[in-house]
Amino acid sequence: MRRFNGLVLPPSGSFSRFQGPLELGLHQGGRRLTPQRRKVLDLFQRIGSGRHLSAEDVHHQLVEAKTKVSLATIYRTLRLLVQLGFLHELELSEGGHRFELSSDEHPDHHHLVCVRCGRTEEFESEQVLQAGKNAADKIGFQLIESTLNVRAICPNCKTI
């Protein structure tokens, strides 16, 4: 039995009317693959991992690409893609949310977030990961993931 993001995939080589994990995940959840859902995921796949977009950023880029989609649809689609494991949601302390393509290559990465403009940069730190493991072990928790959001001011905003 093969799995992807918690979904049970059909055996390799078997015929499936689904084209990939997104279609399968939506089908298993009783949902349809709408053109808007496909375009949102395609946007994240096109820009690649490590890029962080707000719902408004996604909406703006799709509207510029002549895709007719409401901001409400973007919010619902982003939440769904997070639930299915295709996107990761970064919750900022100012109440904003950013979304990025999920990546098995960098599951435990951290973020520097500019408190003025929202610019978000990733970094990795073995020390942060170890601190998370130590804290979890000390209390008897099992560590699932470790992320740290560092609030700062980026070089561009610092000069303003």
Position with higher pLDDT, 28 vs 47: 47
Q: Where are the domains of the chain?
A: 106-160
- Residue-wise burial string across 109-139, b where 16 or more C-beta atoms lie within 10 A, e elsewhere: bbbbbbeeebbbebeeeeebbeebeeeeeee
Mean per-residue pLDDT for 80-108? 77
**Residue closest to 40 by CA, chosen among 18, 28, 57, 26:** 57
At position 149, the amino acid (one-letter code) is: N
| Structure token pair of residue 76 | 């619902």
Partner residues linked to 121 by β-bridges? 112
CATH code for the structural domain at 106-160? 3.30.1490.190
Instruction: For residues 24 and 10, give the distance between their C-alpha atoms in angstroms, rounded to a whole number.
Output: 9
**pLDDT, tens digit, for every residue of 114-145?**
888 878 888 888 888 889 899 999 999 998 87
**CA dist list (Å): 130 to 19, 121, 127:** 39, 21, 5
**pLDDT, tens digit, for every residue of 31-85?**
777 888 889 988 988 887 778 889 999 999 999 999 999 999 999 999 988 888 8
